[in-house]
Amino acid sequence: MQGKAGYFVGKLIELLVTLLLVSLLVFAAFSIIPGDTARVMLGPDASQAQVDLLRAELGLDRPLVIRYFSWLFGLFTFNPGTSYAYNMSVGELIAQRLPVTIGMSAVAMIMVILISYPLAVISARKPGRAGDQICSVIGHILFAIPPYVASLLLILLASSVFSLMTAGTYVKPSDDFAGYIGCLLLPSFAIALPKIAMSFKFLRSSIIEQRTADYVRTSKSHGLSDLKILVRHVLPNSNVSSITIISIILSDILGGSLIVEQVFNLPGLGRLLLSAISRRDFPLLSGIVFYLAFITVILYFISDIAASLADPRIRLK
Amino acid sequence: MTRHIHIVKVHLLTLAFPTGKDPDPKPVLDDVDFGIRDGEILGLIGNSGSGKTMTSLAIAGLLPEAASITSGSIKFAGKDLLEMDPKERRAMLGRDIGMIFQEPSTALDPLMTCGKQLEEVLTAHKDLKMTPEERHKAIMDMLETVGFDNAEELFSRYPHQLSGGQRQRVLIAGAALLKPRLLICDEPTSSLDTVTTVSILALLKDLCHKLHITILFISHDLSAVRGFCDRVMVMKDGRIIDRDTASDILTNPRNSYTAELLTNARLDTRILGFEPATVDYSRSPVLTAKGITAGYKRSLFERVKKNGGDEAEDKNVLHDVSLEVFPNEILGLIGGSGSGKTTLIRSLLGLLPHEGTVNIRSSSTGAIFQDPVSCLNPAHTVKWHLTEALRASGKKTAGTLKERRERTYARITGVLEECGLGEEYLLRRPNELSGGQRQRVAIAMCLIQEPSLIIADEPFSSLDASSSAELLKIMTDINRERNTAFLLITHNIHIVRKIAPRVIVMSNGRICEEGTTAEVLGNPRSEAAAALLEAERLIHGN
């Protein structure tokens, strides 16, 4: 059916246009910021000739448009310049730090899904009963705790009260994968907590709504068991609306991990970002910002595609 | 299995919704006692809230959790259903008892193909032990039985790709797939247009004969059972107050309530006193629409992708529609589903971008829509709705706040009274009103703005006969006393014949016939009008 292919092609074009706009915004933002990078790097005592030389070396003397396109080309070949501060390729720097941020976000997301789904299903079975009420109250409390506060509390609990771990240790995935996941568990949980509450609340109301839908009554009249109705009809239908929420949660988690990394002293993108800001390392900064935006846009793209796969009404107009 | 004369025997069934506050409330079903004979089509008629749906749910075992059966018994083929455990009863559903419901648009899971949903009926009953091929064949056969020529294609279709009538056929196929002995049809046609209704009723009758399925047919429309049911029972306030053969009840009702229902269903003008105003066609019209062409816009991407001119033409739902509504006039607009009636209304109201001109002479135009449930804000009271409507009309009056408030209050109560609702309804919220009452509030919201034209889009289709009759009476009264013109969109020709002096017939987005009602309905020239009339004759008789 042409509608299906057309939908995907349309979404792909949307994705590319969005990415171009993002790159333009990022580039414009860092070009507008006042201050001469070469002057900052060389210090106030350097002569104008030295500064000009460095400018030429960094390519800062070229016209803006050419600089943008060479930067853009660099972005898509994963080589958007060299960091002033680290004197290393930006791509390499980001690649080093990415496993921490991505790993933490992934573990947090898995926690959100594994915990909120069963809770929502149980809660929605008998809305208004004691179990449901307790879950809702706990949800409200969790929802109100910001991840960095949760991190501090968790560190306190895990390292001081129960002596389970030493805060601030990090194991590389290439050294010991189990250890890598282990050191990410606590920070991931700190990010996941409020998101679990959010996803739980949303899923719960969506399941309750779907349970009273007409097609559930039809399925009952066909003699289907409650479990079958839940798994085959209610959950898929509530997923359609949840997919959008899940993608929002995922991008929230990504943002949250930048902060929690600081608290747990993990060498992720968040720390790199902060040091890039404090050292006016524009190539690194713009690289990080763009790639984070890139990941977010891709996530939304995936969620759109997933939503259309889940709902034939979007796919086959 | 031994044959019973009565396949279902309901004995002195009493059902209530006890709550913590009120452990012994007024019963919803009160000593209901009847039998359904093997092989018959039994009609169960009553207005909304009479308990007919609860009766059917009790037989099927699908009662809401809050319901409690306080006394009585239900026997199916000799077995007491209320004694069975839930698992056993569930096994009966689909196999012994099939059910179809009112709203085919929401009764199918939107995410699953029709074929898959039908297959579930077979896989739900584990003891059937059918191979996938056998299942597929059974479904194909049933889809053909319910009248699909393209069963293979339909199998992989999603519900949103089907029309209302097709969905109802799929639902009937699902309910009849295991050839149950009893098929409960709860208002299966009330949301369908007349032409589709006729075909669905014919299909049900066919199933009854071919597969020997007993049918319990629930409806609020007494006239719909004509020529369809063998026997009819009439329910009111949870009791069965009348029962007879269908022909006797329709021609010679003994019970006064049955007679009232019949009168309402026939919309007898003499008894109900509908008197629309006389129209002076020499005056300039209140609404003039010229050359309206409209359609649903495609997304930007779709338009860029194929910028072919001829394809754009196809997307239009309306083609060059022109019409005039004169002062005091009730103009009927009829047509089957998909003829473009609703699109026209949306264009006239300016809710849809369109080509052509719409000229509305009066300062304000009111509109009433099909579904009174979703038109009112559930969070607010009737008073709030009317105040809001009054404010929206922008007519400011002088005086102190108190004076203005009093004047507003007087106007609200006045208008509400005109629509047949007393002051006690002011503080009610939409969920505390019946369908008919909600529709009256919708009319009151129009009236308070003193429009010279009210556009009513299928205002009766969700109401039972009595409420429709009352609503019609209000509309004709308003028309006569306030000189308000109405543009009445409906698929019920019967209503148009009674109150509209002039009628327009639409088909495929064009006006195919226009003239005085007597002329058009007496001697239809277009195919569309003839088809509508034929369907109406089959259902309501003449």
Our CA-based measurement puts residue A172 at a distance from the nearest CA of chain B, in whole angstroms, of: 43
Give a yes or no: residue A108 inside a domain: yes
Superfamily of domain B6-265: P-loop containing nucleotide triphosphate hydrolases (3.40.50.300)
- Residue B129: phi and psi, rounded to 5, are 50, 65
**Residue B311 confidence (pLDDT) above 60:** no
Chain B residues closer than 8 Å to A310 by CB: 111
- Least confident range from B258-267, B298-307, B381-390, B496-505: namely B298-307
Distance in angstroms (rounded) separating the CA atoms of residues A259 and B448: 57
DSSP string, chain A: -HHHHHHHHHHHHHHHHHHHHHHHHHHHHHHHS-S-HHHHHH-TTS-HHHHHHHHHHHTTTS-HHHHHHHHHHHHHTT---B-TTT-SBHHHHHHHHHHHHHHHHHHHHHHHHHHHHHHHHHHHHSTTSHHHHHHHHHHHHHHHS-HHHHHHHHHIIIIIIS----TT----TTT-HHHHHHHHHHHHHHHHHHHHHHHHHHHHHHHHHHHTSHHHHHHHHTT--HHHHIIIIIHHHHHHHHHHHHHHHHHHHHHHHHHHHHHHT--SHHHHHHHHHHTT-HHHHHHHHHHHHHHHHHHHHHHHHHHHHH-HHHH--
Mean pLDDT of B472-490: 86
Q: Is the pLDDT of residue A223 over 50?
A: yes
Q: Which of B91, B97, B108 is the closest to A215 by Cβ?
A: B108
Does residue B215 register a pLDDT over 50?
yes
CA distances from B305 to A6, B269, B310, B353 (A): 9, 56, 14, 22
Residues 271-310 of chain A with CB under 8 A from chain B are: 310
Place of tokens 């029962």: B243
A312, B110: Cβ pair inside 8 Å?
yes
Instruction: For chain B, give the longest Cα–Cα distance.
Output: 81
Among the residue ranges A266-280, B68-82, B112-126, B259-273, the one predicted with the least confidence is B259-273
Longest Cα–Cα distance of chain A, Å, equals 87
- Nearest CB to B93; choose among A10, A222, A240: A222
What pLDDT does residue A163 have? 67
Contact criterion met (CB < 8 Å) for B91 and A232? no
Cα–Cα nearest to A240, from A185, A312, A170, A189: A312
Question: SS3 for B264?
Answer: helix
Residue B12 DSSP SS3: strand
Q: What is the mean pLDDT of residues B216-226?
A: 80
- Cross-chain Cβ contact B174/A222 below 8 Å: yes
- Kindly report the CATH number assigned to the domain that includes residue A233: 1.10.3720.10
Are B524 and B533 in contact by the 8 Å Cβ rule? The answer is yes
Does A180 fall in a domain? yes
Q: Which among B60, B161, B305 has the least Cβ separation from residue A221?
A: B60
* Contact residues on chain A for B135, CB-CB shorter than 8 A: none
Sign, Cα dihedral of A212, A217, A223, A224? negative
Phi first, then psi, for residue B336 (nearest 5°) are -70, 175
Residue B453 in contact with residue B447, Cβ under 8 Å?
no
| Mean pLDDT along residues B407-428 | 85
Closest partner CB to B160 (pick from A13, A225, A313): A313
Bridge partner list, B515: B503
> CATH number for the B287-540 domain, one of 1.10.3720.10, 3.40.50.920, 3.60.15.10, 3.40.50.300?
3.40.50.300
The ipTM, to two decimals, is 0.74
Task: Give B484 or B361, the one with higher predicted confidence.
Answer: B484
CA distance A114 to chain B (A): 24
- Put simply, whether A219 touches B (Cβ < 8 Å) is yes
pTM here is: 0.75
Considering only alpha carbons, which residue of chain B is nearest residue A211?
A: B109
Reduced to 3 states, what is the DSSP secondary structure of residue B470?
helix
| Structure confidence at residue A164 (pLDDT) | 67
How far is residue B291 CA from its own chain's centroid?
A: 31
pLDDT of residue B393: 76
Q: Which residues of B touch A213 (CB under 8 A)?
A: 106
Convert the pLDDT of each residue in B6-19 to its tens digit: 889 999 999 888 87
Task: Please name which of B347, B345, B294, B348 lies closest in space to residue B316, comparing C-alpha atoms.
Answer: B294
For residues B413-441, give the mean pLDDT.
Answer: 83
Residue A283 pLDDT level (bands cut at 50, 70, 90): confident
Q: What is the pLDDT of residue B432?
A: 77
Which of A23-27, A228-232, B277-281 has the lowest average pLDDT?
A: B277-281
Chain B: residue whose CA lies nearest to A2? B302
Cα–Cα distance for residue pair A35/A53, rounded to 1 Å: 17
Q: Of A55-59, A110-114, B240-244, give the range with the top mean pLDDT.
A: A110-114
The tally of domains found in chain A comes to 1
| In chain B, % of residues over pLDDT 90 | 12
> Parallel, antiparallel, or unpaired: how do β-strands B41-45 and B354-360 relate?
unpaired
Cβ of A222 within 8 Å of Cβ of B120? The answer is: yes
Cα within 13 Å of Cα(A106), Cβ side = 9
Q: How many residue contacts between A and B have a Cβ separation below 8 Å? A: 91
Q: What is the pLDDT of residue A1?
A: 43
Write out chain B residues lying below 8 Å of A312, CB-based: 110-111, 158, 160
pLDDT at B117: 92
Put simply, the answer to whether B93 touches A223 (Cβ < 8 Å) is yes
The b-or-e profile of B473-482 (16+ CB within 10 A means b, else e) is bbbbbbbeeb
User: Which residue from B124, B161, B299 is facing A228, i.e. has the nearest CB?
Assistant: B124
Question: Is A240's CB within 8 Å of B305's CB?
Answer: no
Q: What are phi and psi of B387, to 5 degrees?
A: -60, -45
- pLDDT, tens digit (0-9, with 9 covering 90-100), for A107-150: 999 999 999 999 899 888 888 788 888 888 888 888 888 878 88
Burial class (CB in 10 A: 0-12, 13-18, 19+), A203: buried
Chain A residues lying within 8 Å of B110, measured CB to CB: 215, 237, 311-313
User: For all residues of chain A together, what is the average pLDDT?
Assistant: 84
Question: pLDDT per residue over B69-85, tens digit each?
Answer: 888 999 998 888 888 88
Instruction: CATH 3.40.50.300 in chain B: give the residue spans.
Output: 6-265, 287-540
Q: With a cut of 90, say whether residue B216 has pLDDT above it.
A: yes
Residue B158 and residue A13: Cβ atoms within 8 Å?
no
Q: What is the strand order of the sheet B316-325 is part of?
A: B316-325, B287-295, B354-360
The pLDDT of residue A233 is 92
> What is the reported pLDDT for B4?
56
Report the alpha-carbon distance of residue A183 to residue B148 in Å, rounded.
61
Q: Is A16 on the interface with B (CB under 8 A)?
A: no
B472 close to B267: Cβ distance less than 8 angstroms: yes
User: Would the pLDDT of A80 be above 80?
Assistant: no
pLDDT of the residue at B267:
65
Question: Which range is least confidently modeled, B165-169, B236-240, B462-466?
Answer: B462-466
Contact of A236 with chain B, judged by CB distance below 8 Å, is answered with yes
Predicted confidence at residue B362, as pLDDT, reads 65
Chain-centre distance for alpha carbon A58: 32
Q: Which two tokens stand for residue B88?
A: 């056993």
Nearest to B242 by CA among B398, B78, B34: B34
Is the CB of B107 less than 8 angstroms away from the CB of A240? no
Once rounded to an integer, what is the mean pLDDT over residues B18-25? 78
Question: Of B108, B110, B171, which has the smallest distance from its Cβ to A313's Cβ?
Answer: B110
Q: Is the pLDDT higher at B342 or at A235?
A: A235
Mean pLDDT for B24-38 is 88
The neighbouring-strand residues paired with B8 are: B36, B76
Q: Look at B194-198, B355-359, B481-485 and tell me which has the smallest mean pLDDT.
A: B194-198
The contacts of residue A129 (CB under 8 Å, 6+ apart) are none
Which range (B92-101, B311-320, B366-375, B470-479) has the least confidence?
B311-320
Say whether pLDDT at B516 is over 50.
yes
Q: What is the pLDDT of residue B265?
A: 73
How many angstroms away from the CA of A221 is the closest CA of chain B? 5
- Residue A212: Cβ within 10 Å count: 10
- CA dist B276 → B113, B177, B328, B414, B473 (Å): 48, 49, 8, 21, 9
Verify whether the Cβ–Cβ distance B109 to A219 is below 8 Å: yes
Average pLDDT of the residues of chain B: 83
Share of chain A above pLDDT 70, in %: 95
Say which of A218, A228, A312 has its CB closest to residue B158: A312
Q: Which of B389, B336, B285, B370 lies closest to B527 in space, CA to CA?
A: B336
Report which of B359, B319, B351 is spatially closest to residue B452, judged by C-alpha positions.
B359
Structure tokens at B49: 């809230």
Q: pLDDT band at residue B313, thresholds of 50, 70 and 90?
A: very low
Q: Do B107 and A6 touch (CB under 8 A)?
A: no
B531 SS3 class: helix
Count Cα neighbours of B234 within 13 Å in the Cβ-side half-sphere: 22
Tokens of B354: 């369109």
How would residue B309 be classed by pLDDT, with cut points 50, 70 and 90?
Answer: very low
Neighbours of A295 (CB within 10 A): 18
Contact between B110 and A225 using a beta-carbon 8 Å cutoff: no
Per residue in A248-264, pLDDT tens?
898 889 888 888 888 88
Nearest to B121 among A222, A232, A237 (CB): A222
Predicted pLDDT at B74: 92
The per-residue pLDDT for B214 is 93
Interface touch B302/A6, C-beta < 8 Å? yes
Q: Rounded distance, CA B171 to CA B107, Å?
A: 8
Q: List b or e across B314-323, with b for residues whose CB sees 16 or more CB atoms inside 10 angstroms.
A: eebbbbebeb
Nearest to residue A110, comparing CAs of A185, A4, A219, A220?
A: A185
Axis crossing angle, helix B256-266 with helix B465-482, rounded to the nearest 10:
50
Q: What Å distances lie between residue B508 and B135, B336, B511, CA to CA? A: 38, 9, 8
Distance CA B16, CA B35 (A): 21
Phi/psi of residue B403, each to 5°?
-60, -45
Q: What is the pLDDT of residue A26?
A: 87
In this prediction, residues B466-472 reach a mean pLDDT of: 81
Which residues from chain A sit within 8 angstroms of residue B169, using beta carbons?
none
Q: What is the pLDDT of residue A216?
A: 92
| pLDDT the model gives residue A109 | 92
Mutating which of A206, A222, A315 best tests the B interface, going by the most B Cβ atoms within 10 A? Answer: A222
Sign of torsion, CA B255 B258 B259 B260? positive
**Residue A229 within any structural domain of the chain:** yes
| The pLDDT of residue B305 | 52
CA pair distance B493, A315, nearest whole angstrom: 38
Indicate yes or no: CB of A218 within 8 angstroms of CB of B101. yes
Give the least confident one: B361-365, B422-426, B481-485, B527-531: B361-365
Pick the residue from chain B with its C-alpha nearest to A312: B111
Asked if pLDDT for residue B121 goes beyond 50, the answer is yes
Helix, strand or coil for residue B433? Answer: coil
- Which residue range forms the structural domain that includes residue A143? 96-268
Answer whether A225 touches B (CB < 8 Å).
yes
What's the average model confidence in pLDDT over B506-531?
86
Q: Tell whether the model's pLDDT for residue B183 goes beyond 60.
A: yes
Q: Which residues of A touch B121 (CB under 8 A)?
A: 222-223
| Amino acid B416: pLDDT | 87
Q: Does A129 touch chain B (CB under 8 A)?
A: no
A312–B95 CB contact, under 8 Å = no
Q: How far is CA A81 from the centre of its chain?
A: 24
How far is A8 from A11, CA to CA, in rounded Å? 5
Give the pLDDT of residue B1. Answer: 43
Q: Which amino acid is at B285?
A: P
* pLDDT tens-place string over residues A133-143: 888 888 888 88
Instruction: Give the residue numbers in B contacting A (CB under 8 Å), as ranges.
Output: 60, 62, 90-95, 97-99, 101, 103, 106-112, 117, 120-121, 124-125, 158, 160-161, 171, 174-175, 299, 301-302, 305
CB proximity A311 to B under 8 Å? yes
Tokens of B158: 């999603």
Nearest CB among A223, A232, A240 relative to B125 is that of A223
A64-79: average pLDDT: 83
